[in-house]
Structure 1
Amino acid sequence: MSADSREIYSNQTGIHDNLQKVVLRHLQSPFLKPPAQHTIDAFEAVTRTIATESKPLIMDSCCGTGTSSRLIAEENPHAWVIGLDRSSKRLGKEYEDKLPDNLIMAQADCVDFWKLAKEANWTLEKHFLLYPNPYPKSVQLKYRWHAHPAFTDLLALGGLLEVRSNWKIYIEEFCEALKLAAQDSEGCELYDPAGQYTTLFERKYCQSGQPVYRCLSTVSR
C-alpha cells in the first residue's frame, strides 16, 4: 500500500466519549459566527445563477477538485448542482471537458455558505459530504462536521444527506449525531462503488483495499 493511501490511524477505538455533550450543546445554541465577505459574494453569485431557472438544488460540499460535482451534475440534469470548496487551487484544476450546464462551482467556506443558505430558506434535494477530513485524533473531535457548531445549519437545509468516509468511526459518529438531532438514518453501512468512483479519494481508497462507509439520511427540517 502506498503512502498516499495509508489507512487512518486514530487513538479512538469507538465513538468519542464527549460526542453527545458536544452535539447537544451545538443543537441548543445557534452558531453566531458572521459569514466572511468572500463567501457572501460567492453566495450572491450562486443565487443570481439559480434564479435564472427554477430547479431543485443539490449541494456537493467540500468538493475538492470538483470530480464528484461533475458526476453528480451529469447524473442529475434536472437540478442545479452546487460544488463548494474553500480552495481556489483545488477548484482551479483543469479538465478537458467543460462544466455541465447545471453545475455551479463556488469558492466558499462551507460553514458560512450553509448559514447563508439556511437564512435564505433553501431546501436541498440532496446534499453530499464525500470524504471530508476526518480529523482522527481524539482531541480533534470539534473539527468533525457532526461535532461542529455548523452542524445545525447543515441539517436545516434538509434533503437526502449522504456522507462517505474510509474511517468507520466517523460515519458511526455522524449517525449518532443525527440521532441526537432527532433525525433518522440508515446507519453506518459498508459502501461498494463497484468501480464507479465518485471522487479521486474514493478510487484511491478502494484500489488500495480499504473499505469505505457511508451514512444516508433523509433530513427533515
Structure 2
Amino acid sequence: MTKTLSIDTSSTDTHPEGNSRPVTSSQSDVHPGLAALLQRYRDAVFNKPVADFNQLAFDRASEYLCAHGGPLILDSGCGVGDSTRVIARNYPDHLVLGLDRSEDRLSRQRQPPLPDNAHLIRTDLVDFWRLAAAAEWKPEHHFLLYPNPYPKPQQLQRRFHGHPVFPHFVTLGGTIHCRSNWLIYLKELASALALYGVDSQITPVPNEPAMTPFEQKYRNSGQAVWQLLSAPPPDPGDAR
C-alpha cells in the first residue's frame, strides 16, 4: 500500500512562542534501508490514480504558468503561505506557486498580501509533482521548508525522499531548497539526491528573517536549523 506523503506545515501564529521540542529518534545517521528503497522506486512504475481535485488544481496552475510566461518556482508544503510571499518578493520576475493540501491553512488571512506573481493552490503533492513532471515542468527553484520528519526508523516511507513519488520530484529539477531542525533528515535527502547524480550542500540557516512560522518557532526554542541547497546535475551536452 502506498504511504501518504505528509508535509505538515501547520502553524497558528506569525511569531510563535519558543516551546518546540527537539526532534528525537533512535536513528543516529542516514537510514540503512534508504538506498535499497530508492532503487526499488527508481525501477518501478508509480501508477496511483490521480484524484480529480488534484487534476483540476494542476490545470489551474498550468493556466497561471501559461499566462505568466516567465520562470517558475514551486513552494511545496507552503502552509499558510508566508514562505511563498517571501520567495515571490525575492524573485519578482518568477511565477511562484505555493502548494499545500490544507484548505484551512491556505485560507488564513496573512499580511502582507500575496504579491501579484504568486498563487496559493490546494493540492496533494504526490499527484501534483507527478503531473508536473509528466508535463515536463522545469522550475528554476523548488522549496520544501520544514516538512514533517517522521523520525521513527519505521516511518522512513513517510519521509518524502522515502516515498515512491521521489523520482518525479527529482525529475522536476531546479535548485532544491529544504530546511529542517533535524539534521539527519537533510543528510538522508542529500544521500537520496546523490543516487540521482544531484550534488547538494548542508549548512546552517543564515541569520536572516525566518521564512516560515515553524522556522521562527525553532529559533525561539534555541534549536539549530539547517538548510540543504542542491545543484542541478551536469548537462550531458557539456561532456561533448
TM-score by length of 2: 0.87
- 1:74-153 matched pairs, under 5 angstroms: 74-153=89-168
The CA distance in 2 between the partners of 1:16 and 1:52, in whole Å, is: 43
Partner of 2:40: 25
Matched-pair contact (CA < 8 Å) for 1:27–1:181: no
Matched-pair contact (CA < 8 Å) for 2:143–2:178: yes
Q: Say whether residues 1:162 and 2:183 are aligned partners.
A: no
Partner of 1:14: 29
| Cα deviations by residue, 1:171-212 (Å, 9 ceiling, x for unpaired) | 0110011111221112x32223x1411011011111211001
Higher relative contact order (CA 8 A, sep 6+): 2
The CA distance in 2 between the partners of 1:102 and 1:30, in whole Å, is: 35
Q: Which of 204, 226, 229 is the aligned partner of 1:213?
A: 226
The CA distance in 2 between the partners of 1:4 and 1:91, in whole Å, is: 24
The CA distance in 2 between the partners of 1:65 and 1:40, in whole Å, is: 22
Amino acid at match of 1:81: V
| Cα deviations by residue, 1:8-53 (Å, 9 ceiling, x for unpaired) | 1111111111111111111222322121111100110111122112
1:3 to partner: Cα distance: 8.0
The CA distance in 2 between the partners of 1:53 and 1:92, in whole Å, is: 23
**Aligned-CA RMSD value:** 1.4
Amino acid at match of 1:200: P
| Cα deviations by residue, 1:102-144 (Å, 9 ceiling, x for unpaired) | 0011000011000110111100100000000001111100011
The CA distance in 2 between the partners of 1:216 and 1:148, in whole Å, is: 20
The CA distance in 2 between the partners of 1:218 and 1:185, in whole Å, is: 6
Partner of 2:215: 202
The CA distance in 2 between the partners of 1:208 and 1:45, in whole Å, is: 39
The CA distance in 2 between the partners of 1:35 and 1:83, in whole Å, is: 19
Change (3 A) 1:7 1:117: same
Number of corresponding residues: 218
Partner of 1:190: 204
Secondary structure class of the residue paired with 2:45: coil
Q: Which of 29, 37, 43 is the aligned partner of 2:58?
A: 43
The CA distance in 1 between the partners of 2:111 and 2:203, in whole Å, is: 35
Amino acid at match of 1:148: H
Matched-pair contact (CA < 8 Å) for 2:18–2:222: no
Matched-pair contact (CA < 8 Å) for 1:158–1:218: no
Q: Tell me, which stretches of 5 or more residues in structure 1 are unaligned?
A: none
Amino acid at match of 1:18: G
The CA distance in 2 between the partners of 1:170 and 1:97, in whole Å, is: 31
Change (3 A) 1:219 1:150: farther
1:98 to partner: Cα distance: 2.6
Moved over 3 A (4+): none
Secondary structure class of the residue paired with 2:148: coil
The CA distance in 1 between the partners of 2:142 and 2:111, in whole Å, is: 26
Q: Tell me, which stretches of 5 or more residues in structure 2 are unaligned?
A: 1-16, 236-240
